[in-house]
Structure 1
Amino acid sequence: MVIMSALFSFIFPPPSSLVVSGMSVISLVSLANAGFSEIRGKHLNYSKFWNANPSAEKQVKLSSKAGMLLLYTPAFLAGLASFWIFPHQGLRSTLLQSAVTLHFFKRVFEVVFIHKYSGAMLLDSAIPITLSYFLSTATMIYAQHLTQGLPEPPIDLLYPGIVLFVVGIIGNFYHHYLLSNLRGKGEKEYKIPKGGMFELVICPHYLFEIIEFYGFSFISQTLYAFSFTVGTTLYLLGRSYSTRKWYLSKFEDFPEHVKAIIPFVF
């Protein structure tokens, strides 16, 4: 009872919608399982792990650029459409819609203008990731819609959420930019990233993405937003662990002090 009372001090009451309640559980469990699978060596096949599966050569492949556009575009369009479907529902809802839409717009922008590519993406991995982003965006916005008319949580996290979102999206973009600068024109080989927080962790872009998602949760203050964010955190912890392990296996001079995602800790 004490835990539940503390929880409801900073989130809206759980929605009456069985769909949203079910999605809260599904998102948390599925993303956490994906994170543990990464640690066990069963990777989603994109980026440097695109061909980690022995059967990858026999599966349908997309170019990395096409695959990344497939991942982010439906979620971006869902965020954009939400302004028409749920217009003028108050400051909190508008800020959440804006933050989610801006997040995926940035990802599409990076795919087209920032990232440099070296591999491919398996369609079998692209489809579940695309669905996850699209459904999480739609569900997060719909869950916010269901809070209309409810009393605000006793502890207001809206403005801290804005700060976290801004820090997260800027930090994520900056480190994606540093990654893109590692390769010259026509180069495809991987290098040890340098600069920024790459001096401390190998996946600072994941760290700032987690910060960004906690920004979503603080702005939203719904059970679904927090469930999805915790699940995303667990997945990115697993993915960053595997990424550091990959760099250690490929580069003899990889600095041991550089952690996976949390400076000096993990």
Structure 2
Amino acid sequence: MECREAVVSYLSWGLVVGGGAYLLRQMQNCAEYGRYAPTQARCCPARLGWFLQEVPALFVPLLLLLLPAETGTGRRLLVGTFMLHYFHRSIIYAFLTRGRPIPLNIIVFAVIFCSLNGFLQGHFLLHCARFEDTWLTRARLAAGVLVFALGMIVNIHSDCILRGLRKPGEVVYRVPHGGMFEFVSGANFFGEIVEWCGYAVAVWSLPAFAFAFFTICSIGPRACMHHRNYQQRFKDYPRSRKAIIPFIL
């Protein structure tokens, strides 16, 4: 498959512009799912919803791997890091989640985003990126992959803490403790942001940067909204916690 440089450029800048627009929107109103979902919204069960909306970002790069492309450890390593996150999110997390039903419109938008972004990241790495022979030995790659791994560990651990706050069928909210929750209210969001920042450092490309930027714009404000929500619900909520960046914000 030939590299579609124009498509890569348009999709990448679309993520950057879309991320900025989404940030401005969320500063007014948080995305309407989870605790912020309208009571009358038409919804899908949480487990099925998470699977449907996240799995395109796993399957699209997988399909691209089956097409003729330049092979190499570096390409497969970076595509693999991207797919690893979405394997966990669409298969493992979706099966374990105890979250609220997801509005259908949120699922539709997420399917579109994950399909386009899965194509963008996979197509760029497999058909467009050019790596030197010494690329695999560079410190930037190692640092980026390490940061990605640390972020994923924080994200998964934080999700486990949140799941442990509820029994099956419960919809109550309790104060999370442990791990990064001792420092920030949005520990799961913090972990995911760290993941994609590490990915962007490892890949060092416009598509990877655009995705990391969009992630910050989309879930960063949600973490801040969660922080305010916790403070309103619980009068004894720890004052030392920040919203998304430890000790800072």
Distance 1:150 1:98 in 2: 19
**How far did 1:177 drift?**
0.7
Query: 2:54·2:89 contact (CA, 8 Å) conserved in 1?
Result: yes
Higher relative contact order (CA 8 A, sep 6+): 1
Measure how far apart 1:236 and its partner are: 2.0
1:162 match? 145
Rounded to whole Å, the distance in 2 between the matches of 1:181 and 1:49 is: 21
1:47/1:64 contact within 8 Å kept: no
* Structure 2 residue aligned with 1:263: 246
2:165 match:
182
User: Share of identical aligned residues, percent?
Assistant: 25
Whether the 8 Å contact between 1:206 and 1:240 is mirrored in structure 2 is: yes
User: C-alpha displacement at 1:106, in angstroms?
Assistant: 0.6
TM, length-normalised to structure 1: 0.83
- What 5-or-longer segments of structure 1 have no aligned partner? 1-14
Aligned positions, number: 244
Partner of residue 15 from structure 2, selected from 19, 27, 48: 27
Q: Deviations over 1:64-107 (max 9, x none)?
A: 22221111111111132232125552222111111111110111
Select the residue among 53, 56, 66 that pairs with 2:48. Answer: 66
Alignment partners' CA distance in 2, 1:167 and 1:86: 32
Please state whether the residue corresponding to 2:71 is helix, strand or coil: coil
Question: 1: CA distance between counterparts of 2:209 and 2:155?
Answer: 20
What corresponds to 1:134 in structure 2?
A: 115
What is the match of residue 82 of structure 2? 100
CA distance in 2, matches of 1:157, 1:89: 21
Structure 1 residue 243 displacement after superposition: 1.3
> Deviation of residue 176 (structure 1)?
0.5
Do residues 121 (structure 1) and 108 (structure 2) align?
A: no
Aligned-residue CA RMSD (Å): 2.2
| 1:213 paired residue number | 196
Partner of 2:171, secondary structure, is coil
Structure 2's unaligned 5+ residue stretches are none
Q: CA deviation at 1:250?
A: 2.0
Query: Could you tell me whether the CA contact under 8 Å between 1:79 and 1:137 is conserved in 2?
Result: yes
